[in-house]
A and B are shown apart, each in its own frame.
Chain A
């Protein structure tokens, strides 16, 4: 569907991680929720003092609600964290090209940090076909694992410092999985992690999709602020694609890392 402007009613807005900055907001917004696809995002109006909306990935959705998980990183997301339950939120969305969910076969959901959340909706559609490989910096930041297991996905967790789960990077888990058998891989996380994960997928010939992030302006593809470099098909050149509407999900093999 084309993006729409819609008001939503905030059903909940809670801190997910004690002492952290990670929040989950559930919004009643039937028209937008019904049209939302896995991997898409919404642009949130964060009110007075902001000139740009804040792009927030859709974590989960049903016919009438959207769930957004977001980190408080600055003025806009801080304003979001303070929005009262029962209040109104102004949304532009759903926006972008999301994940393509394969109709059959094993799917690995590779997430790092807050990047795990856009993979929740795919998990809901995949059930037992999905295996989540989730990486965090340390034990205190581990969160959201149950979002995947609740939908029937197996979840493996690793931490950079070994304080929880497997000691190491999520790319090591990914390599072990791909050695064991082919899979489609959906990736979302920090750029270095996505680049490394995409390289592992290329090594094993696994189809991979990555969800990119970039500082964004209009969110509808007009201003050309949020571009990324993409290989030109059937050529050796590069071009700029818009993360907002040409992505945010791209085939990992077309991204110029």
Chain B
């Protein structure tokens, strides 16, 4: 049969394949170059970027959990100036589809960063209102639906022609309601799920393992939650969705696409297997070939429910 069309579309932007490396897991793409380049994947969502550089949280910042990890990095990043002047031109040269992930402490911070990255010409902007690891901002904007709508509308104004993805927190009462709030605010697409808030304690010392005490849970442990929330968010909004949360295999990717994801984020899986994004990409293509699917987009939302 003819080659599978692996391209997908997120709010008018074409990704060469559905695999996105998620924000926080792949830096600005440089570190994984010995294994694959950003031209091999659908898009790279870069490290959460704030207006000014951030030092991040104290260590320990990571702990292993059953079928996952808990992290509390605290948005350590070099600031939007470094992203725009140093990282973005390099990513452009590599042929990357670039998703700028933006974060802040105030609504004005978010607007300022959005404006900078939109002017610099990123392909998509992903607004992180779901980071569980910073004291101000972050998840505070992502929990109450009215706040989600308000900040989405305010940031959308500053994005120009660049489509805005709202990254949703799973730590909410009703994901469908938050997805609709983002849509009402003008979101062009959604990404979900960010991490679930968790905690681990070292029973020998009786101290929390993470210096921040609590952190975000990711990895296969959260995968069923991600599938459920993607399914609900798609039904609630019909918006393009980058589905993420514990995707570790091509089968996982296909499952979350069936639930309603147009593209698939890979993060934690890379820590054990740096080749995971490529293996998942190739596995999806193989599965399509084996199942007579000519266009990967046919998988999206194909769950029989």
Which positions 181-215 of chain B face chain A at CB distance < 8 Å? 209
CB of A216 to closest CB in B, whole Å? 7
Q: Contact between A218 and B73 (Cβ–Cβ < 8 Å)?
A: no
Interchain residue pairs with CB less than 8 A apart (15): A2-B33, A4-B34, A49-B66, A50-B272, A51-B68, A76-B64, A214-B60, A215-B60, A215-B61, A217-B62, A219-B271, A220-B34, A225-B71, A239-B55, A240-B76
User: Number of A residues contacting the other chain (C-beta, 8 Å)?
Assistant: 32
Q: CB-nearest residue of chain B relative to A237?
A: B55
A75 — which chain B residues lie within 8 A by C-beta? 64
Interface class of chain B by DSSP: loop
**Contact between A5 and B76 (Cβ–Cβ < 8 Å)?**
no
B59-A214 in contact (CB<8A) = yes
Q: Identify which of A92, A218, A228 contacts B25 (C-beta below 8 A).
A: A218
Contact partners of A216 in chain B: CB under 8 A: 62
Size of chain B's interface in residues, with CB distance under 8 A? 35
C-beta contact mask, B15-50 vs A, less than 8 Å → 1, else 0?
000000000111100011111000000000001000
B271–A51 CB distance below 8 A: yes
Instruction: Find out whether the CB atom of B31 lies under 8 angstroms from the CB atom of A51.
Output: no
Q: Which residue of B lies closest to A75 (CB)?
A: B64
Query: B67, B73, B209, B271: which contacts A53 (Cβ < 8 A)?
Result: B271
Q: Mark A214-239, 1 if CB is under 8 A from B, else 0.
A: 11111111111111100000000011
Give Cα distance in the complex from A218 to B273, angstroms: 9
Known: A224-B61, A225-B62. A218 touches B271 (CB 8 A): yes
Contact digits for B165-186, partner A, Cβ 8 Å, 1 yes 0 no = 0000000000000000000000
A195 to B64, CA, bound (A): 27
Distance, CA A19 to CA B35, complexed state (A) = 41
Question: How far does the Cβ of A94 sit from chain B's closest Cβ, in whole Å?
Answer: 12
Are B64 and A222 in contact, CB atoms less than 8 angstroms apart? Answer: no
Q: Which 5 A-B pairs have the closest CB atoms?
A: A2-B34, A225-B62, A222-B31, A222-B27, A215-B60
Does A245 sit within 8 A of B, measured CB to CB? yes
Cβ A220 vs Cβ B60 within 8 A:
no
A216 to B209 CA separation, bound complex (whole angstroms) = 13
B160 on the A face (CB < 8 A)? no
Residues of A within 8 A of B62 (CB): 52, 215-217, 223, 225-226
